[in-house]
Amino acid sequence: MNIDIALFFDKMPEMLTVYLLFEKTILQKYPGVKKKVQKTQISFSNKHGFLYVSLPYRKVKARPEYYMNISFGLPFPIYSPRIAEVVEPYPNRWTHHVIVQIIDDINDELLDWIDQSFRFSLEK
């Protein structure tokens, strides 16, 4: 783990272990993917960004105390109880936000959506 990751999770260290497992899963599944740690998000990209991790910057009613947002883009909306929010920032580009709180949240369903986003980003 590098210092940038440690600093990113400084305000919510409870999520660091979950993130590290998530990152390991993504980097093993997609060799050569680039990771960029910024102040408010960690992005993963191939040709284009396809996956983003962020922490809540304020408390949101009815959400857990500790969690991270996993965001990804697709050319269509997915409506599922797991999707916390879906928006269409551009025509036919839907951004999905999933709350990940525990390691078990990183499951086949989430990884399938991320895989679709990975392939969609290659087609842009």
Domains contained in the chain, number: 1
Residue scoring higher pLDDT (57 or 114) = 114
Residue scoring higher pLDDT (58 or 7) = 7
Q: Are 47 and 69 in contact (CB under 8 A)?
A: no
Q: Which amino acid is at 75?
A: P
Q: Which amino acid is at 121?
A: S
Q: Which two tokens stand for residue 120?
A: 């969609």
Of 26, 73, 82, nearest in space to 48 by CA: 73
pLDDT value at 62 more than 90: no
pLDDT tens digits, one per residue of 76-113: 999 999 999 999 999 999 999 999 999 999 999 999 99
Q: Which two tokens stand for residue 118?
A: 């990975």
Q: Containing H/E element for 95? A: strand 93-100
Q: Are 69 and 55 in contact (CB under 8 A)?
A: yes
Q: Which residues pair with 69 in a beta bridge?
A: 54, 99
pTM of structure: 0.93
Q: Which two tokens stand for residue 113?
A: 């959506």
Instruction: Tell me the residue range of the domain where 72 lies.
Output: 3-123
Q: Which two tokens stand for residue 66?
A: 């500790």
| Cα–Cα distance measured from residue 79 to residue 84, given in angstroms and rounded to the nearest whole number | 9
